[in-house]
């Protein structure tokens, strides 16, 4: 097959020993997305003709994630993790399909699309054999130091470095562009005579310098961008940094925060103009908020679509659902998977809604459970109403037509249908369908026993 274009190879096979976790490092969550999500997003660009991910440690789980969420990526297995050079060698066949390859680690979440595109274009414009990113962090420990030699430079890992080499503040970012013919000529001849007994990809750079190949080093102006995540402390630092960056971007597009220090917004969340976020709000996953909506304090929203001018009044938990324009929710509501609140609907205090549609302008103001139900327009659900949807075996539907008035404390024993404009009396247990326009009363008739307080009484018993 003829070579063409540039491929991106993400190295994600390492164990991440310092994390001390059973979860493969690249699947550890950072703002509720796996670490690997970040390089996948930043390399999701038409500039690249293909993307491969080298997996190894926990490869089943990592491959599952890739297949499910990033079907365009090719999975390359590195059976044993013998170093970054070994990981690249495992992908030699895949690399051979391209003229150039960008190699990036799976654990540098802040690496931006612009930086990668800069690296790529400088590499091509300069017709380089290798271009790689370096940076000058406040604390260089843990990184490979870039040491100048007669013929160029070599990269010395922390564990192999002599004391004077450790003082060098310029370090390798682990992000490279290679001409594939040149890379493939050298990748199989790496040695492992070093402190970790690993095949280091960085040794290729030294070999290329020795041969007088064209190598360029680019200084990344923002060192935070290429910092890796290797232990729980770094994960925590990264999480705060990323949070700040994400919010700054949204605020520059018109999102307002009462206290941005306490708000958390995940990387995949999209926010319309003039969205207002109260203190202690969390927005995660694939969530969208339309213009002018406001999210009240202590609300947590995941994978949901919120229209324009929606108000979550606080303490709302909203998962995998849709809230259409002008609807109001809360405080203290739980809206679960597969629910839709249509325009102008209201779900209020201590109400749980699951897999249900609440029609336009319909109200469930307090203390209700609405599950597997379809409510039409302008329905009013009285306090304490419950859809008894589960018979111990299966979940059954309730259908409540337009304009129905469900009296307080009604038990709707599903499957059941209330026709358009039907009423139920407060405290009813509704087991049969109610025809349109009728009133259903399903409760014991009240009996008053007169003179009850004056009845003969025995001696009062002790106690409470
Ligand atoms: C590497 C560089 C170092 C650089 C640093 C920047 C080498 C030898 N060192 O060190 O110069 O300063 O990155 O962050 O390359 N991986 C595999 N298979 C393996 C080993 C690693 O896929 O057998 C993957 C890891 O999952 C990780 C990436 O390669 O995503 C980097 O490996 P890591 O062990 O973190 O390298 P560093 O010690 O950080
Ligand atoms: Ca690393």
Label residue 240 by pLDDT band (50, 70, 90).
very high
User: β-strand 270-271 against 288-289: which pairing, if any?
Assistant: parallel
The label of the residue with tokens 């409470």 reads 464
31 neighbors 245 (Cβ within 8 angstroms): no
Write out pLDDT tens, residues 338-354: 999 999 999 999 999 99
d(CA 193, CA 221): 33
Candidate of 14, 140, 194, 207 to mutate for ligand 1, largest count of ligand atoms within 8 Å of Cβ:
14
For 295, list phi and psi in degrees, rounded to 5: -110, 120
Between the CA of 124 and the centroid of ligand 2 the distance, in Å, is 26
Between the CA of 409 and the centroid of ligand 1 the distance, in Å, is 62
Candidate of 75, 84, 137, 205 to mutate for ligand 1, largest count of ligand atoms within 8 Å of Cβ:
84
Q: Please measure the distance between the N-terminal and C-terminal CA atoms of the chain and give it in whole angstroms.
A: 89
Residue 230 pLDDT > 80, yes or no? Answer: yes
The label of the residue with tokens 């500039």 reads 47
The label of the residue with tokens 């998962």 reads 319
**Closest atom, ligand 1, to C-alpha of 13:** 22
Q: The tokens of 120 are what? A: 């790529």
Between the CA of 78 and the centroid of ligand 1 the distance, in Å, is 14
Write out pLDDT tens, residues 50-61: 999 999 999 999
pTM, to two decimals: 0.93
Between the CA of 222 and the centroid of ligand 2 the distance, in Å, is 17
Residues with CB under 5 A from ligand 2 (ion): 107, 228
**Closest atom, ligand 1, to C-alpha of 81:** 23
Residue 463 pLDDT > 80, yes or no? Answer: no
**For residue 380, what are the β-bridge partners?**
363, 405
> Which residues are near ligand 1 (CB < 6 Å)?
11-14, 54, 56, 78, 81-84, 86-87, 105-107, 143-144, 155, 157, 171-174, 200-202, 228
d(CA 83, CA 193): 12
**For residue 434, what are the β-bridge partners?**
418
CB neighbours of residue 120 within 10 Å? 19
Asked if 57 is an active-site residue, the reply is no
Label residue 15 by pLDDT band (50, 70, 90).
confident
């Amino acid at each position: 097959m003829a070579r063409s274009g540039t491929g991106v190879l993400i190295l994600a096979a390492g164990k991440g020993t310092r994390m001390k976790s059973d979860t493969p490092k690249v699947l550890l969550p950072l703002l509720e997305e796996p670490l690997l999500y970040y390089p996948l997003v930043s390399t999701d660009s038409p500039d690249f003709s293909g993307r491969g991910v080298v997996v190894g440690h926990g490869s089943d789980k990592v491959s599952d994630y890739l297949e499910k969420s990033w079907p365009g990526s090719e999975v390359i297995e590195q059976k044993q993790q013998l170093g970054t050079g070994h990981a690249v060698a495992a992908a030699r066949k895949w690399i051979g399909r391209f003229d150039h390859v960008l190699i990036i680690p799976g654990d540098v979440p802040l690496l931006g699309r612009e930086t990668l595109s800069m690296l790529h274009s400088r590499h091509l414009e300069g017709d380089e054999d290798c271009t790689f990113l370096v940076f000058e962090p406040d604390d260089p420990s843990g990184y490979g130091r870039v040491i100048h030699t007669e013929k160029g430079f070599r990269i010395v890992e922390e564990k192999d470095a002599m004391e004077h080499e450790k003082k060098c503040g310029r370090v390798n970012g682990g992000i490279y562009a290679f001409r594939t013919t040149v890379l493939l000529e050298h990748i199989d001849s790496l040695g492992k005579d070093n402190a970790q007994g690993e095949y280091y990809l960085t040794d290729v750079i030294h070999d290329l310098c020795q041969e007088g190949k064209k190598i360029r080093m680019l200084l990344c102006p923002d060192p935070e961008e290429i910092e890796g995540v290797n232990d729980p402390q770094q994960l925590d630092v990264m999480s705060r940094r990323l949070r700040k960056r994400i919010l700054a971007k949204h605020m520059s597009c018109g999102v307002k925060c009462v206290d941005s220090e306490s708000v958390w917004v995940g990387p995949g969340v999209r926010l319309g103009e003039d969205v207002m976020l109260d203190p202690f709000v969390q927005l995660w996953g694939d969530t969208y908020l339309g213009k002018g909506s406001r999210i009240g304090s202590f609300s947590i929203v995941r994978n949901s679509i919120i229209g324009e001018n929606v108000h979550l009044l606080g303490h709302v938990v909203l998962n995998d659902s849709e809230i259409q324009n002008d609807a109001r929710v809360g405080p203290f509501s739980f809206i679960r998977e597969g629910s839709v609140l249509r325009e102008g609907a209201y779900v209020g205090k201590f109400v749980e809604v699951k897999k249900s549609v609440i029609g336009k302008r319909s109200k469930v103001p307090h203390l209700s459970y609405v599950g597997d139900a379809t409510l039409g327009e302008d329905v009013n659900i009285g306090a304490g109403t419950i859809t008894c949807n589960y018979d111990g075996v299966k979940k059954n539907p309730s259908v409540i037509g337009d304009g129905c008035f469900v009296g307080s404390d009604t038990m709707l024993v599903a499957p059941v249908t209330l026709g358009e404009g039907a009423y139920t009396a407060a405290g009813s247990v509704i087991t049969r369908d109610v025809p349109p326009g009728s009133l259903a009363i399903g409760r014991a008739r009240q009996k008053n026993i007169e003179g009850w307080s004056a009845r003969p009484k025995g001696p009062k018993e002790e106690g409470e």
